[in-house]
Amino acid sequence: MGDIFKAASVTLAAHCARDDSEGFLLDAFAAPTAIEHQVQGHPIGICRPPNLELDVTNSRLSRRGWVLQERFLSTRTLHFTPGRIYFETTSGVFSEDGPSSGLLQAASARRRMYHGSSRPTFFSPLASPELRATFGLGGIGDASLITEQSHVTPLEWLDLVEMYSHCGLTKEKDKLIAILGMARKIHSRTGSSWCAGIWSDRICEGLLWLPKNADLLAPSASRALSWSWASWDGGIQYPTNVKWSKLHPRCTFISLHNPHDTRRKEEVAWLNGPGYLRVRGRLISLHGLYLGEAVQLGPGPPRKGPITEESHDLPRAPLQHFVHARRICAGSMSQTAGWIAFDSRGPGRMFDRSLRISLLITT
């Protein structure tokens, strides 16, 4: 599917139709909504300028899971929106009013927000130049990105996963299938192992996902083991510093095994479902620690809570959005040692809870 959209001369995106049973040309060719205003006794119409984020990126169509890779892998897309048409290419965006230089500046500004605490959930491909270069879709001036990033999965993949987790799918079993085209493009460039939604060369960063705002929901059939974001339905988030290139990984990838290899002797490089992951890292003793009350963690000043005297080098994890967590306590005075965010607060999830304790966050 990925090759189809990448090789297409142009992709048509009908944002002004609710589904394939409706037409879209009448709404797209209609005059933009305008507000009438009197200037020296003469009526004039005032309408808002083109806004790609509002009309395209945040449309109902763009929130569908399959559409995400269709947009990111297409070299040219005509977006039909109510009252306006956009032409999106690998090097820029054009509307009926002309080149949208402001849109390019907005995309550039988004890249500078990597070290900030707030970013839009949905964004356009222009905001991910390194990822697009890895797909072989670099725009003007992106030749250096293709050379620099050809053997490493861009950290922009984490942004893409966050956005994808908020998209809807008609069939829940398509969670990994709907982004398979993009995954194969990255695998062919980097040679990294595909660990059910997480890349082996970004294993530390990829495992540090957290729920966003609310609990995650388990699908009716297993799609992956609980260490992968693909095993759950619902929005996720990554701490902002996980996306920084200066983050020092605390674990390394060893091997990947399919679920039928119970002795885990044969390694695989591609896992698109449940399986076994082996990593190397330093274990932290939780002796003497216990769970405290439920709290909400979110954006704000850094919080301190070293787990043990030997773990002062653990990275702090600034959050973009609030997350339900439990306080981890130490000693008879219930001193705060850290916080842990569970995938789900429902009953019968103790296996997931014990596993996710390795993703303890000290923000």
The pLDDT tens digits for 263-291 are 777 888 999 888 889 999 888 777 788 88
CB neighbours (10 Å) of residue 158? Answer: 24
Q: Would the pTM of this model clear 0.75, i.e. be above it? A: yes
DSSP line for 93-161: EEETTEE-HHHHHHHHHHHHGGGSS---SS--GGG-HHHHHHTT---TT-HHHHHHSTTS--THHHHHH
Q: How far is CA 103 from CA 89, 93, 110, in A?
A: 12, 7, 11
Average pLDDT, the chain: 80
224: pLDDT strictly greater than 60? yes
Is 305 among the domain residues?
yes
Hey, which bits of 229-352 come out as E strands? Answer: 236-237, 251-257, 270-271, 276-281, 289-297, 323-330, 335-340
β-bridge pairing 11-14 and 76-81: parallel
Cα-only R_g, the chain: 23
Q: What is the pLDDT of residue 302?
A: 55
- Considering only residues 220 and 360, tell me which one the structure prediction assigns the higher pLDDT: 220
Share of the chain above pLDDT 90, in %: 34
Question: Position of tokens 């356009």?
Answer: 124
User: Domain limits at 297?
Assistant: 286-359
Q: How confident is the model at residue 248 (pLDDT cuts 50, 70, 90)?
A: confident
Q: How confident is the model at residue 211 (pLDDT cuts 50, 70, 90)?
A: confident
Q: What is the pLDDT of residue 161?
A: 95
329: pLDDT strictly greater than 70? yes
Q: How far is CA 250 from CA 170, 204, 206, 277, in A?
A: 37, 6, 12, 16
338 phi and psi, to 5 degrees?
165, -170
3-state secondary structure 64-110: EHHHHHHHHHCCEEEEEECCEEEEEECCCEEECCEECHHHHHHHHHH
Q: What is the pLDDT of residue 111?
A: 46
Is 141 among the domain residues?
no
- Considering only residues 258 and 318, tell me which one the structure prediction assigns the higher pLDDT: 258
Q: What is the pLDDT of residue 345?
A: 62
Number of domains in the chain: 1
Is 125 among the domain residues?
no
Q: What is the pLDDT of residue 53?
A: 87
Q: In what order do the strands lie in the sheet with 76-81?
A: 11-14, 76-81, 84-89, 93-95, 98-99
- Number of residues in the chain: 363
3-state secondary structure of 359: helix
Average pLDDT over residues 81-106: 79
Q: What is the pLDDT of residue 353?
A: 38
Instruction: Report residue 72 CA to chain centroid gap.
Output: 13
Pick the range with the lowest mean pLDDT from 125-129, 192-196, 216-220, 353-357. 353-357
Q: What is the pLDDT of residue 100?
A: 66
Average pLDDT over residues 17-22: 86
Is 335 among the domain residues?
yes
231: pLDDT strictly greater than 90? yes
Rounded distance between C-alpha atoms, residue 326 and residue 291, angstroms: 7
Share of the chain above pLDDT 70, in %: 80
Q: What is the pLDDT of residue 137?
A: 81
Average pLDDT over residues 296-314: 57
- Considering only residues 206 and 301, tell me which one the structure prediction assigns the higher pLDDT: 206
Is 172 among the domain residues?
no
Pick the range with the lowest mean pLDDT from 12-16, 61-65, 133-137, 201-205. 133-137
Q: How confident is the model at residue 324 (pLDDT cuts 50, 70, 90)?
A: confident
The structure tokens listed for 147 are 């050379």
Is 138 among the domain residues?
no
* Greatest mean pLDDT among 4-13, 146-155, 306-315: 4-13
Rounded distance between C-alpha atoms, residue 121 and residue 140, angstroms: 26
Rounded distance between C-alpha atoms, residue 86 and residue 56, angstroms: 9
Is 2 among the domain residues?
no
Is 224 among the domain residues?
no
